Amino acid sequence: MQDFLFGIGVLALIVAWKYVWLPTILDYTRDKLFDLRDGFLREAFLQEKFPLDHPIYKSLRNLLNGHLKHTESLSIWEFLAFYYSAKNLRKDLLVGVNEIFKTDDRRLNEIISRVRFQSAKIMAEYMLLTSMIAIPMLFVALVFFTLRRRSIFKKILATKPIVRARALIESAALVP
């Protein structure tokens, strides 16, 4: 009887994962990307008196639309495999993506930096929250950092490997 109940419990967890958790995280991620695109990005350009047909605005919208398009197909394991198999391409991809968003205007650079950082963070959250193995690791990290009472998350997100990873995520999003 215990084995039967255990099997029912495992089956319930699998069903909850596939039909409740994953769609919820997908909707949550897409909502955040829509808010970033239709809320922050649009408002920032209007507030700074930049036209909405500006090439940088179009590039940022394309980036966010690419993230929206590829959200469901993105997994942490595929990303890690690509990250390590594309060692020779990473520098070229980073240069290529940075070239798309290159500008001398300080106000535009602030908007670009914020949108790129936030979109990469949203996509990384999605990849982590849809991985059965990463969730327990995140829980352990949360407990560890809570016990240390010091969050180094922003420092981690600014390291070279994370910046390269962001370039790969953005490159995938910008592919038509």
Helix%, strand%, coil% for the chain, nearest 5: 80, 0, 20
Checking if the pLDDT of 71 tops 60, the result is yes
Check residue 169 and give its pLDDT.
Answer: 75
Model confidence over 32-60: pLDDT tens digits? Answer: 999 999 999 999 999 999 999 999 999 99
pLDDT tens sequence across 111-139: 999 999 999 899 988 988 898 888 787 77
Q: Where are the domains of the chain?
A: 2-174
- Are 100 and 174 in contact, with CB atoms under 8 Å apart? yes
Residues 138-151: tens digit of each pLDDT? 777 777 766 665 55
Cα separation, 34 vs 174, whole angstroms: 16
Those residues whose C-beta lies under 8 Å from the C-beta of residue 112, and which sit 6 or more positions away, are: 56, 60, 101, 103
